[in-house]
């Protein structure tokens, strides 16, 4: 079987590529705006440097593919608030370009990366797939629009579409980025001996899920025939940001220097995924606990250049 991974040089995409190569012929399409060629240095994947907004590059990349893992995206609430037009251009129009290329190439299935950001401020926990979707950032709105386009194509055309709603993903190949996940920001600052800033009181909770479990979800969603729909992908557990800081301190080997700042716009107070639907549909079962996952991540981060 042959597959395309859009955004395959990025954090989650490169981990999907590494696992997919054990069973598929893999093509990667990435414009390297936020991905890194070095994430693919040990792989035999065919690499095409190109943009999902480029029809010709997409048609070349998707030719002969059975499955498309669509991970190319503009990611993060702050990035979207700062650049809402770019966010929608990539996440909405880019996804439509991918879907059109899939339709033309007669791809069997698309597995698209969505986000828990589509839910907005939460009304109940744990979050099931039928929770109201009221995104309160441009990022959440663009990911919801992309998800709806995927599911509409599954109804209109001969293609299956699975949208995976990621919660807070972390793991190897996730680099420091002020727009990104709290774990790399904290980890790299702590490794550099710098103080970290916790926004709010630190008692807000998050469902952190290892990238290895996210990869498992992508492959299982691709390989189970006859399934379309949107599914939560998290760990099914949550911890406070204060507890996360303690676990990171244990992994680093020294406690963090913590400063507290005002809450950030667009941040929800609590988050926890109900993952029973993905378990029932395609056998998703997270296996990496947060303490072990953070130790692995810190070991990887030590090999990276700590940002100045």
**Residues annotated catalytic, as ranges:** 139
Tokens of 108: 């069997």
The half-sphere exposure of 287 on its side-chain side, counting CA atoms within 13 A, is: 7
CA–CA separation, 224 vs 280, rounded Å?
11
- Sign (positive/negative) of CA torsion 170, 176, 182, 185? positive
Residue 177, judged by CB atoms within 10 A of its CB (0-12, 13-18, 19+), counts as: middle
CA–CA separation, 26 vs 24, rounded Å?
6
CA–CA separation, 294 vs 249, rounded Å?
10
CA–CA separation, 231 vs 85, rounded Å?
27
Tokens of 284: 């998703």
CA–CA separation, 168 vs 69, rounded Å?
19
CB 61 within 8 A of CB 50: yes
Q: Which residue has the tokens 């991918």?
A: 98
CA–CA separation, 46 vs 26, rounded Å?
6
Where would I find the beta strands (DSSP E) of 174-246? 196-199, 205-206, 208-210, 229-233, 239-240
**Max CA-CA distance within the chain?**
55
> At 192, phi and psi to the nearest 5?
-85, 0
Q: Which residue has the tokens 């990025």?
A: 10
Report, in this order, helix, strand and coil percent for the chain, each rounded to 5: 40, 20, 40
């Amino acid at each position: 079987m042959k597959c395309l991974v859009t955004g395959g040089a990025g954090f989650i995409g490169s981990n999907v590529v590494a696992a997919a190569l054990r069973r598929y012929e893999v093509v990667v399409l990435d414009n390297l705006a936020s991905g890194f060629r070095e994430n693919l240095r040990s792989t035999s994947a065919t690499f095409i440097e190109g943009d999902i907004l480029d029809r010709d590059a997409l048609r070349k990349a998707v030719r002969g593919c059975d499955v498309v893992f669509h991970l190319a995206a503009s990611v993060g609430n702050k990035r979207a608030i700062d650049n809402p037009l770019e966010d929608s251009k990539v996440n909405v129009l880019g996804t439509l370009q991918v879907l059109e290329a899939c339709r033309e190439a007669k791809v069997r299935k698309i597995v698209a990366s969505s986000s828990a950001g589509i839910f907005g401020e939460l009304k109940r926990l744990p979050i099931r797939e039928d929770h109201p979707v009221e995104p309160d950032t441009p990022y959440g709105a663009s990911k919801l629009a992309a998800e709806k386009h995927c599911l509409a194509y599954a109804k209109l055309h001969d293609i299956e579409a699975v949208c995976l709603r990621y919660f807070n993903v972390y793991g190897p190949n996730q680099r420091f980025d002020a727009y990104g996940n709290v774990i790399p920001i904290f980890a790299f600052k702590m490794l550099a001996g710098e103080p970290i800033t916790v926004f709010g009181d630190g008692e807000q909770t998050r469902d952190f899920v290892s990238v290895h479990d996210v990869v498992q979800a992508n492959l299982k969603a691709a390989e189970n025939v006859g399934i379309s729909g949107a599914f939560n992908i998290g760990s099914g557990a949550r911890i406070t940001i204060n507890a996360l800081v303690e676990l990171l301190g244990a992994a680093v080997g020294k406690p963090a220097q913590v400063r507290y700042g005002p809450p950030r716009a667009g941040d929800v107070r609590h988050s926890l995924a109900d993952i029973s639907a993905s378990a029932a549909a395609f056998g998703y079962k997270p296996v990496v606990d947060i303490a072990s996952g953070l130790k692995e991540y810190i070991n990887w981060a030590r090999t990276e250049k700590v940002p100045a």
